Structure formats: structure tokens, C-alpha cells
Amino acid sequence: METMELAFEEFGDPDNSPLIILHGFFASSRNWRQIAQKLSARFHVYVPDMRNHGVSSHHPLMDYPSMAADLLRFIDDRGLETASLLGHSMGGKVAMWFALTAPDRVNKLIVADIAPVSYKHSFDNTVLALKALPLAEINNRKQAETVLASRIPELSYRQFLLQNLILKDGKYCWRLNLDIFQQMAPNIAAFPNADHLAPFTGKALFIAGGDSDFVKLEDIKSLFPEAAFSTIADAGHWLHVQQPDVFTTLVENF
């Protein structure tokens, strides 16, 4: 399998225990800077941009085995024997697949608001809304945000997505390859068949948002029998953004 060298940000003392944070679909390392800085008091934190995200290179294949292979290369390239993994949403699925396929390289596993299951939801509306944005007519980010409002009503989600809109040679363009995202989105909503794999018996913590319905205990226990489970009240899928202090404390304590 062809692996990719991932761009990354790094925080904290290299002598501390390594913690790798894996972001979600449409996100990048920059979305995790504040959390990473908080955690860097106790850990040596790496936050890679997954393939096709942030400033990492683009590749037509994007699924969990390929992203887990990128992660293994990342860990090997840093000379780490093991690392703790913290993954949110898509990043949580990468972390779970990695833990199932390379359990000896994982110290502790923390998964934020996602389960090892295939979800029914589709990203079609999001991708099509971004593709429909008339980039040649956009003069500033606020204008882009206003145009997107009819297709993506939730302001915080619009602003999150628009972090991928960049100014290049005086014109706005997408940092993402939206064609790849459209083609690969079903892989991101899915989770590979793990029936042939042994359960991960290492230390694992699943953190769910109290207002989110992404995580059910029965979906976790067969593959992660030792997992602990925490719920953060007054938080949805973006629990680390909505309750950053509670989230960071849970991670540190685990």
C-alpha cells in the first residue's frame, strides 16, 4: 500500500510521552491547536494533517486502511515504539483501525464521539454545497459564508468548512480536492469489516457528547472489551470545541 508523508504540528517537550491527535473529515491540525497546547504541558503532542487534508498531499484513495498505514509510517519516521492516540470522528476511526491492526504500537487509545460502525449519513450535501460556491465571484470569506448559508444553515459548521478556503494569487480556491472527497466520502462514513481481527485489549477510552447519538456502548465492547466510557454533558459531536476544559481533563486523567 502506498503511504504518504504527513505534514504535522508539534507541541511540548520531546522527553514527554508521545500523544498523536487525529482530526476529523474536512478538518486539519489547526483545528486542534488549542487542545494540543493544553495537553502539551504533560505530553509530546503531534497533530498530523491526514492525507487530502490541511497541507498534506492529495491522493485519490482515502479509506481507513490507507490512513492507518500513513499513521504507521508517521510513527516509524519519528522513531517511536509506541504512542497514545486521540482521534475525533474520522480520526477516531483511523485510531481504532490502527489499534486493531497494530496493537503493539498503541499505548492508550482515546476515541472522541465515534464508534467502529458504518453510519448511514451522507456527506453529499456538504461536498455539493462547497462545489457550488462561485469562487470566481467571492471577494472575501464573509461573502463565501453568506452564500453557503442556504445550503449549510449551521453557522459553526459553515465557518469550520470555510477554513479550507484559501487565497492564492489573489483568488479564492479550495485547499481540498473536492472530487476526491466526493468519491471517498462513503469510505469515511463506513468502517472496514473487522471480523477477522482480534479485539484490542489495551487501555481505551471512548468519550461521547451527551447531545450526540454517534456512540452506543454495544457497538464498542466486542472490538474494545477493556474500553472505559465517558459522556460530556451539553456537548454534541464537536465535544472538544463545545466543552474544551472538560474534554482536556478527561484526556489527561486517562
The CA distances from residue 92 to 22, 54, 220, in Å, are 7, 17, 12
Instruction: Give me the torsion for CA of 214, 186, 71, 178, rounded to 10°.
Output: -110
Could you give the angle at which helices 124-132 and 178-189 cross, rounded to 10 degrees?
Answer: 170
183, 169 Cβ separation under 8 angstroms? no
Cell numbers given for 251: 484526556
> Catalytic annotation on 23?
no
Catalytic member of 13, 179, 213, 234: 179
Choosing from 53, 88, 237, 240, which is the catalytic residue?
A: 237
Task: Establish whether 15 is a catalytic residue.
Answer: no
Catalytic residue among 29, 66, 84, 89: 89
179 belongs to the catalytic site: yes
- Burial class for 253, CB neighbours closer than 10 Å (0-12, 13-18, 19+): exposed
Q: Provide the annotated active-site residues.
A: 89, 179, 237
